[in-house]
Amino acid sequence: MTDINGERLLANLRTLGAIGGLPDGGVDRLAWSEHDLAGRRWFAERMSEAGIEARVDAALNVFGHLPGTVGPWVLTGSHLDSVPNGGRLDGAYGAVAALEVLRTLAESGDPLAEQLEIVGFADEEGVRFESGLIGSLALTGELDIERLRDGLDWEGVPIRQVLATAGRDLDRMLEAQQHRDSIKAFLELHIEQGPRMEADKIDLAVVTGIVGVHRQRIEIQGTQNHAGTTPFRLRHDAGRAAARAAAELRDLIQGVDAEAVANIGSMRFYPGGINVIPGRAQFTLEVRHLDEPVIGEAVWAFATRLERICAEEGCRVVVELLSSVPPAPMNETVVGALEQACTELGRRPAKLSSGAGHDAGDHFRRAPGPGRPGATPRRPRGRGADKVVAPPWRCCCPTRSTRRSRSRPSIRRRSRSAVAPISWSS
């Protein structure tokens, strides 16, 4: 087994972290920004430097594989964009580690290098257009162009204009899917985004799947009235009903499944006067778990309790489904292979579900083609993780053909001149 060049990996992470780097160690490479583009150019340049053929697609994803290889490849990488004031390892770790792995395999003449392609995905975070996974959804052909067509970014700039500054055309974004059938699997290395590994003093984990996410907007309708003249016993207080339900949420969800999580992230009372009993209360509910039936059970448990509370308070409830993303379990064969690889290195990895969404999500599983992939956890804004942790890779296609690679040009004979110049305009 060949070791990667750890110093080179860390040096690359530091250099990428300095692009859009903030004085406190964070990073700001908001998708489609100058810093994001600079990070992508840097990534492509490191590929070219290593004799890897770099290419940027219609969705601004940056790919690289050895010249002369034709795929289908096992794709590995992560996203290069960040949230504003984000963590410097979120996404960057997976992309830079992918580069290091391919480079190491190529340098040691390992034929596996011919079967690997690396990627830095575009706009995974979804901050700019309130719509994430843009690069990987374009690759799998699931990007909803119509939803973006007349949209504005978070500062009111038309999305089309934002894309144009990066040399991209919304109507051509789905050209990215032409590459889909050249990918037989996708593996994503990612830092954990939550506190579990740190709390349990674990630095290595294999991801068993990405949780499903169910989101609702709930409105409770009561009776608006004067807060000074209406005694408690005669109130139909929508605010009180919402607050009671929120206070009971944790116990309810835990009662369904210890691994389930839920959140009420926003709540508003109307009309919102200090001396007015709320006639309406609106809040959001989010439930996550790796098993879809558990999500359904948790949502039902909350709905049942909420109905009872509203009946007691003399209110009524209206529920609007916002979205329901199914869980993306990881291929068990791949989980096993990853565990075995860790064991061979003398390590015993933990197995965790990913509570956050990733490029290696369910859209890869749905994509037609010879392979399908999966993913891992990330850290949204966290700055910690000075220690590079864990390969929580995820993949859905364990198969690998070595037969085709024998007829391909030897990676040792590749030449730098074979690297095609990268085009930043689609």
Residues lying near Co ion in the complex (CB under 5 A) are found at: 90-91, 378
Provide the minimum distance between the beta carbon of 36 and Co ion in the complex, in angstroms, as a whole number.
14
Question: Considering the complex, what minimum distance in angstroms separates the CB of residue 152 from Co ion?
Answer: 24
Between 19 and 170, CB nearer to Co ion: 19
Structure tokens that stand for 198 in this block: 């740190």
Residue in 335, 349, 352 with CA at minimum distance from that of residue 195: 352
Q: How far is the CB of 173 from Co ion (least distance, A)?
A: 21
Q: How far is the CB of 127 from Co ion (least distance, A)?
A: 12
> To the nearest 5 percent, what fractions of the chain are helix, strand and coil?
35, 20, 40
β 183-187/116-121 pair status: unpaired
- State how far Cα 421 lies from the chain centre: 29
139, 59 Cβ separation under 8 angstroms: yes
Q: How far is the CB of 266 from Co ion (least distance, A)?
A: 23
Residue 1 has a CB neighbour count (10 Å cut-off) of 7
Question: Pick from 68, 107, 133, 35: which is nearest to 378 by CA?
Answer: 133
Q: How far is CA 423 from the centre of its chain?
A: 26
Query: How many angstroms separate the CA atoms of 94 and 359, rounded?
Result: 11
Q: What residues does 350 pair with on adjacent strands?
A: 205
Which residue number, 91 or 279, has a Cβ lying nearer to Co ion? 91
Q: Which is nearer to Co ion, 119 or 301 (CB)?
A: 119
Q: Would you say 90 or 313 has its CB closer to Co ion?
A: 90
Residue closer to Co ion (CB basis): 180 or 190: 190
Which residue is at the shortest CB distance from Co ion? 378
**How far apart are alpha carbons 174 and 159 in whole angstroms?**
15
Closer residue to Co ion (CB): 372 or 378? 378
Cβ partners under 8 Å of residue 374, min gap 6: 186, 188, 207, 209, 210, 328, 329, 330, 331, 334, 360, 361, 364, 365, 394, 395, 396
* Cβ proximity to Co ion, 92 vs 113, nearer residue: 92
